Amino acid sequence: MLKHAVSLLLIVAGCGAFAKDKKSPSVIQSNGFPVEKSAQSVLDEQDYQRALMAYRFWYPTVSAEGIFQGSRNLGAVDNESMFIIAAQPHHVGLTLNSDTPYGGANMDLSAGPVVVDVPPGSFVGLVNDHNQKWILDFGLPGPNKGKGGKHLILPPNYKGNIPQGYQVGRSATNKILVAIRSLPIDGDLKKAMAEMQKVKIYLLNSPNKQMAMFDVTERKSDISLLTWEDNMKFWTSLHKVISEEPLNPEQMAMYGILDNLGIAKGKEFKPDARMKAILERAAKDGKEQMIVTAFGDKRPERITWKDRKWEWAGYISDNGDFMTGSGIDMQARDRWFAQAIVASPAMFSRNPGAGSLYWLGLRDSKGQYLDGGKSYQLKVPYPVPGKLFWSVTAYDAKTRSQVQASQNRAALRSLFELKDIPKDSTEVTLYFGPTAPAGKENYWIQTVPGRGWFTYFRIYGPTEPAFNGSWRPGDFEPATFPKGPGKIGLNH
């Protein structure tokens, strides 16, 4: 705990200072006191810097609140019912994919410990707290390796008896997210959806009241913070979370910064005109900083192969919380949560046999960002080194959600669209652009002019060649090809 607290204080010290132009007049008089006319601008800048730091630190928390509220908007009730979904472009959520069905349960531990009872099978699941901090994995990446088992999540500061026979995780928050994925290994999506309903989630003290599951695949949905992330709603949503959750001793420095901004547990949030302007500016600039970190980062270790433009979607972390030997890697944390939701050690593992592997493709072979008005081709050596399956998904750079175009498809998947690739193939070419290549429509994802886009290349059950560089996909190459019947346009 002490190490975490010291890390946070270092973050405060490093990020809270502001730079002053060396050529500008000093704001301190020769007698040691501030210049009266300059003092207010300095105080405003200090509050802005605090707000900017707070924005980035609490971004995963507000993003989690977006998931919780989006679920409730779909009709889910905390501790009672949860949605399941075979994600499609009309489902907005940070880098959701169509590879596997999802289930998401909002649980409130103030009612007691929660049980997640997972049968044997091809499930991938995790539990994160309200700050998107990892609590435990279950299913294939969990300690039971897909053989099933019961998992128990304990509330903050739980002092009660802990029954035997459970994998136990402790939460620092009352609200937690239980996220489930059911792998359609045989290409049967309906079967995977049905299998997911075999997972039982309930309060330890109410084993007969299991979470009801309902399918929202055909409904439009938004389980993101997109409508909040650049305006005052970010701060009002954060105040709601701070008000509802217990204080975490590891984050006291950050609570103090929020208090300086008027956000504190047990206090009404009523910013005056000055503070409101500062918070609105910080939300706008904070979002821009997050996006730059996600897509414009220059750290050399982001590059997957020196002769390719592919990047790692997230930096390596063996704990799921971006902790290193010297503190929290805030840049890695910002980069991940600007792109995606939830975190666990299994998601960042770079070892053969890991649950899945994620590569980020956002530039063409010349280093230019991918443009929705241009056409590209991607050559993929075959076979792809995965024990289960693989996919390429296209995401809109503004929404970080699946591209919405009249084609109404944003993924090419080995179990579905690409299932008929001949087994003796040595290479498959995929196509991206506003219009379809004649005769290659099944190997094409439509993009939208005027919109930037990026991809995640995912391998499930990756094997050694995916890590040692002996196998790697080509870059996105600008292309011209005979046009098929594809149409241009957003599908709103």
How confident is the prediction along the chain (492 residues), in pLDDT tens digits per residue? 434 444 444 444 444 444 445 567 789 888 899 898 899 999 999 999 999 999 999 999 999 999 999 999 999 999 999 999 999 999 999 999 999 999 999 999 999 999 999 999 999 999 999 999 999 999 988 888 889 999 999 999 999 999 999 999 999 999 999 999 999 988 999 999 999 999 999 999 999 999 999 999 999 999 999 999 999 999 999 999 999 999 999 999 999 999 999 999 999 999 999 999 999 999 999 999 999 999 999 999 999 999 999 999 887 767 788 888 888 899 999 999 999 999 988 777 777 766 788 999 999 999 999 999 999 999 999 999 999 999 999 999 999 999 999 999 999 999 999 999 998 999 999 999 999 999 999 999 999 999 999 999 999 989 999 999 999 999 999 998 766 554 443 332
Contacts with 277 (C-beta within 8 Å, 6 or more apart), sequence order: none
3-state secondary structure of 389: strand
Contact 318, 73 (CB under 8 A): no
Contact partners, residue 330, CB within 8 Å, separation at least 6 = 11, 56, 57, 322
Indicate the CATH number for domain 2-68+226-295. 1.10.3360.10
* Buried b / exposed e along 322-336 (16+ C-beta atoms within 10 A): bbeeebbbbebbbbb
> What confidence score (pLDDT) does residue 483 get?
61
Maximum pairwise Cα distance, the chain: 82
Concatenate the DSSP letters of all residues of 317-346 into one string.
-SSSS-EETTEE-HHHHHHHHHH-----HH
Count of helix runs (H) and strand runs (E) in the chain: 9, 23
How far is it, in rounded angstroms, from Cα 55 to Cα 59? Answer: 6
Q: Do the domains at 2-68+226-295 and 75-222 have one common CATH topology? A: no
Domain boundaries, the chain: 2-68+226-295, 75-222, 300-478
SS3 355: coil
Q: Span 75-222: which CATH code?
A: 2.60.40.1610
Angle (nearest 5°) at CA 74 between 71 and 75: 95
Neighbours of 492 (CB within 10 A): 6
Radius of gyration of the chain (CA): 24
Whole-number Å distance between alpha carbons of 95 and 341? 8
**Could you tell me if 402 and 410 are in contact, meaning their C-beta atoms sit under 8 angstroms apart?**
yes
Fold of 300-478: Jelly Rolls (2.60.120)
250, exposed or middle or buried, with CB in 10 Å at 0-12, 13-18, 19+? middle
